[in-house]
Amino acid sequence: METSIHTSLSTLGHPQRLALFRLLMRRYPDRVPASELAQALGLKPNTLSTYVNALMHAGLVTQERVGTSLRYAIHMEATRKTIDHLLLDCCRGRPDICSPHLYPPPLGERAMSDRKFNVLFICTGNSARSIFAESILRDMAQDRFVAYSAGTRPRSELNPFALEVLAQKGHDTSVLRSKNITEFQGPDAVQFDFVFTVCNRAANEECPSWQGQPVTAHWGLPDPVAATGSDAEKSLAFHQVYGALRNRMVGFTNLPLETLDRISLQKAVDGLGQIENEGSST
């Protein structure tokens, strides 16, 4: 066990291997194609192969072949053992050190109060997917949640097809605008209970950690803005993404937040992000 822990820590001591590990953690439980990893990190394929092989040797990453594509994911059990070793052996599990960071207040305690849950949806452009998610949650459960959205590189205007779909579904689009993620960072920013990325590109980017340790998950969906063809075909792409997000939001708003512990809640929101993605590389 000691040898395995030492190998894991030594492997993660390399800056670029650590960057690869962190990216896969942000995408967990997704299996990410090697080509996407290389592009996101700006690595040559042979360099990526060297780094990912080191992580696999340390037992921190698993590999799966889908057709001609190799895909990688975090080996969560091995990762958890490495972290547990640091806490239980090095820190001796001292509550004065560990508890404030590893054991945030249960969401169940907040669910029993009158305070609403703050939820942030992130994509790159904040012009379609995250805007859909914000609008759907606001109208579906505004008595329990306050919905926000932002982009890592927001567009100057919302996508007209997205606005058309929202209007057709009866959402108020006058309250919507593209926002930069920096609006929600800093000491005076809103403290979030949940943060969801809804596009792979945004999830692949490095972002500062969020205050208050919100529950986070990746709900990646295809970018409808990238759809080609006739206006009808483009509109269909937007309707499909809207429908997928609405289905996830139904599941999310029906979660018994007052009874789920933190681990069960994390598994639940991870699962919601995987249902429509099975077999998809988007």
Q: Using CA atoms, how far apart are residues 111 and 258, in angstroms rounded to an integer?
A: 5
- Cβ atoms of residues 8 and 51 within 8 Å: no
Q: Residue 37 pLDDT > 60, yes or no?
A: yes
Q: In what order do the strands lie in the sheet with 69-74?
A: 32-33, 69-74, 61-66
On whether both 239 and 131 belong to a single domain, the answer is yes
- Secondary structure of residue 196 in the 3-state scheme: strand
Q: What CATH number does the domain containing 184 carry? A: 3.40.50.2300
Instruction: Tell whether 248 and 158 lie within a shared domain.
Output: yes
In a domain, 87, yes or no: no
pLDDT at residue 108, rounded to an integer: 63
Provide the pLDDT for residue 9. Answer: 87
pTM listed for this prediction: 0.79
Per-residue pLDDT band for 96 (boundaries 50, 70, 90) equals low
Tell me which amino acid residue 224 is: P
70's CB contacts (< 8 A; 6+ apart) are 33, 34, 63, 64
Which range is least confidently modeled, 46-50, 175-179, 277-281? 277-281
Tens-digit pLDDT profile for residues 38-59: 999 999 999 999 999 999 999 9
Q: Indicate the pairing of strand 194-197 with strand 117-123.
A: parallel
52 plus 138 within the same structural domain: no
Q: Are residues 131 and 267 in the same domain?
A: yes
- pLDDT for residue 194: 96
Q: What is the pLDDT of residue 281?
A: 38
Q: How would you classify the pairing of strands 69-74 and 61-66?
A: antiparallel
CATH number of the structural domain spanning residue 69: 1.10.10.10
Query: Which of 1-15, 63-77, 149-163, 184-198 has the weakest average pLDDT?
Result: 1-15
Pair 115, 66 in one domain: no
Taking the C-alpha atoms of residue 63 and residue 73, their distance in angstroms, rounded to an integer, is 7
Do 115 and 73 belong together in one domain? no
If asked whether residues 184 and 52 sit together in one domain, one would say: no
* Paired tokens of 73: 């994911």
Please state the rounded mean pLDDT for residues 146-165.
Answer: 95
73/114 same-domain check = no
Per 3-state DSSP, the chain is made up of helix, strand and coil in percentages (nearest 5) of: 50, 15, 35
Is the pLDDT assigned to residue 278 strictly greater than 60? no
Domain assignment present for residue 88? The answer is: no
Is 96 within the bounds of a domain?
no
Residue-level pLDDT at 95: 57
State the burial class of residue 157 (Cβ atoms within 10 Å of its Cβ: 0-12, 13-18, 19+): exposed
Average pLDDT over residues 73-99: 75
Q: Lowest-confidence range among 88-92, 93-97, 114-118, 188-192?
A: 93-97
User: How would residue 7 be classed by pLDDT, with cut points 50, 70 and 90?
Assistant: confident
Cβ(229)–Cβ(48) below 8 Å: no
**Which domain, by its residues, includes 246?**
107-277
Number of structural domains in the chain: 2
User: Is 102 contained in some domain?
Assistant: no
Confidence of residue 280 (pLDDT cuts 50, 70, 90): very low
Decide if 98 is inside a domain.
no
Residue 101 forms part of a structural domain: no
Alpha helices, H only, 42-175 = 45-57, 76-85, 95-102, 107-111, 129-141, 160-168
The mean pLDDT of 129-147, rounded to a whole number, is 96
User: Considering 23, 56, 77, which residue would you say is the last residue of a domain?
Assistant: 77
Torsion-angle region of 213 (φ positive above 0: left; ψ -120 to 50: alpha; else: beta): left
Q: How far apart are the C-alpha atoms of 240 and 224, rounded to whole Å?
A: 9
**Matching residue, tokens 């889908």:** 66
Neighbour-count burial for 218-235, b at 16+ CB within 10 Å, e otherwise: bbbbbbbbebeeeeeebb
Whole-angstrom distance, CA of residue 223 vs CA of residue 133: 13
User: Is residue 63 included in any domain, yes or no?
Assistant: yes
